[in-house]
Chains A and B, each alone.
Chain A
Amino acid sequence: MLELKKICFRAEDEGVEKTILDDISFTIPNGKLVAITGPNGGGKSTTARIIAGIEKPSSGQVLLDGVDITGLSITERAQAGIGYAFQHPVRFKGIKVRDLITLAAGKEIGHSDACEYLSAVGLCARDYVTREVNSSLSGGELKRIEIATVLAKASKLSLFDEPEAGIDLWSFQNLIEVFQRMRDNIEDSSIIIISHQERILNIADEIIVMANGKLQRMGSKEEILPSLLAEDAVRTTCRGIA
């Protein structure tokens, strides 16, 4: 279970202090897949980076299973059970896909295990396991390998920042299935997916809506999704008229 308590994050932008996150509090219970959505620049990715420990909040607390992890480093949080798939995955010259998955698993894993994680994200394992995680991989391939590392890590809380970005339409259904399988085997862990995609929101148990650094709404998918879609339809119509 992850709790955010009164998280504020301020940063300087061209000499002016700006509030990026303003009093964000929510709880992600075990056994739930929660989607965070909302317009770009609303604070979703910053929230993810604060959970992973990459940014330190200006005030507020982050708790994992009731333990305050606000002061822990990225490494300590990873070891405490937080997994994080980057929105923009990183390339490494010389490090092979298999090496990265082994590092994620935290132990030596067999060839077949490495292949299983790659197959789960729709990559033909045989073609990828010995490839370098470098610029020879396309954005979509890299994104799927990124997701495979988080699958291999087996975390208490797995966090995915816009996993659909850069993934082609054909693979998208595959991606949904990956998250559905994760949801089915969730047991006493939980998942956060930051997404704009209706089909991802549709497999969530709960949805959080963020805008302008604030938590706008939070509730069950049944509660939130219909109103979100209605708003979106209104915006589309307005743009159409203009």
Chain B
Amino acid sequence: MNKKIELDAIQKRLLIEVAELHSIPEGAFNIRANGASAARSSTANIEIIPKPEGNGIDIHIAPNTKNESVHIPVVLTQTGLKEVVYNDFYVGENADVTIVAGCGIDNCGPQDSQHDGIHRFYVGKNASVRYVEKHYGSGDGSGKRILNPGTEVYMEAGSAMEMEMVQIKGVDDTDRSTIAELDAGAKLVVRERLMTHGEQNAISKYTVNLNGEGSSADIVSRSVARDSSFQKFDAKIIGNAPCSGHTECDSIIMDAGRILAVPGLEANNVDAALVHEAAIGKIAGDQLTKLMTLGLTELEAEEQIINGFLA
């Protein structure tokens, strides 16, 4: 099914921020704007079916689909709109696809705008998924921009998933929860980048169960907390089989920011090799000094260090 798109300038700007979409994407897509589908397109291998209740979509990716992409961005520009959306991805065996999600909220009004996207991934045997999710907020209304993503990943034997989650600007409140269940030989890689400023709050919680022999998870979060913002990173890896897991939280703290890192490991098998690393610190003085000796001001040096850190 194909529909015509009528997006306004703000919505188009949000689409560029969260999905780098300057025009209608290639391949399958579903663009959701202010609580309703604005455009949708399926392909021969990727079928997008709206849920009967109108609160989300099912995405069916045929086995052996190679090098195709699905874009499912969401934009909100209506103040006071709150929605919970369920998107379920069924990735067929041996498929190799890129999924680009993301949500942009522009709130110029007095009421809170909120999008809670619940994404469930059923990744078939030996399938490979690259998932990119960007969150962005803008608008100068007193209403908050709130995003509470819930992600569930069920990975069959030999499958691989790489998740890139980015939230750099403008989202007031986030409570993110990610759970994953991995069968034998499945591989999960997560790269999370987060910057909070103002009075923002961001919570990110992971629970990853490594259930099959040879499964592995590598969860790395890099974050910067500025102004009076607060972040909590809570990553738990549970090794129930011979497996390997690594979680890392690396944070820069600035101004009156606060960060709580709660790395957790649970080994229920003697051959589960689990490692966690967590480091929180301010920008090192000698890093600033070095860039200043190259002619940058202190503020410019700070920006370069943060941009590099979150790149």
Spell out A's residues near B (CB within 8 Å). Answer: 52, 54, 73-75, 78-79, 82-84, 86, 88-90, 92-96, 99-100, 103-104, 106, 149, 153
**Is the Cβ of B308 less than 8 Å from the Cβ of A106?**
no
> Are A94 and B310 CB-contacts (below 8 A) given A74-B289, A103-B304?
yes
Give A92 to B250 CA distance when docked, in angstroms. Answer: 13
> Are A103 and B293 CB-contacts (below 8 A) given A90-B284, A92-B287?
no
New A-B contacts (19) at CB < 8 Å, excluding given A94-B309, A95-B308, A103-B296? A54-B293, A75-B292, A75-B295, A75-B298, A78-B293, A82-B293, A86-B286, A90-B289, A90-B290, A92-B287, A93-B250, A93-B308, A93-B309, A95-B304, A95-B305, A96-B308, A99-B308, A103-B304, A106-B294
Give A68 to B96 CA distance when docked, in angstroms. Answer: 64
Contact with A along B262-301 (1 / 0, CB 8 A): 0000000000000000000000101101111111111000
Spell out B's residues near A (CB within 8 Å). Answer: 222, 250, 284, 286-287, 289-298, 304-305, 307-311
> Are A149 and B308 CB-contacts (below 8 A) given A74-B289, A90-B286?
no
**In the complex, what's the smallest C-beta–C-beta distance from B22 to chain A, in angstroms?**
24
Q: A78 touches which one: B284, B287, B295, B311 (CB < 8 A)?
A: B295
Residue of A nearest to B299 (CB): A75
**In the complex, what's the smallest C-beta–C-beta distance from B54 to chain A, in angstroms?**
42
**In the complex, what's the smallest C-beta–C-beta distance from A144 to chain B, in angstroms?**
15
Interface of B is mostly: helix
**In the complex, what's the smallest C-beta–C-beta distance from B311 to chain A, in angstroms?**
5
**Is the Cβ of A92 less than 8 Å from the Cβ of B289?**
no
**In the complex, what's the smallest C-beta–C-beta distance from B304 to chain A, in angstroms?**
7
Q: What chain B residues lie within 8 Å of A90 (beta carbons)?
A: 284, 286-287, 289-290
Q: What chain A residues lie within 8 Å of B295 (beta carbons)?
A: 75, 78-79, 106, 153
**In the complex, what's the smallest C-beta–C-beta distance from A81 to chain B, in angstroms?**
10
Give A83 to B291 CA distance when docked, in angstroms. Answer: 11
Residue of B nearest to A73 (CB): B292
**Is the Cβ of B293 less than 8 Å from the Cβ of A83?**
yes
**Is the Cβ of B311 less than 8 Å from the Cβ of A94?**
yes
28 A-B contact pairs sorted by A residue (CB < 8 Å): A52-B293, A54-B289, A73-B292, A74-B289, A74-B292, A75-B295, A75-B296, A78-B292, A78-B293, A78-B294, A79-B295, A82-B293, A83-B293, A86-B293, A90-B289, A92-B287, A92-B305, A92-B308, A94-B308, A94-B309, A96-B308, A99-B304, A99-B308, A100-B294, A103-B294, A104-B294, A153-B294, A153-B295
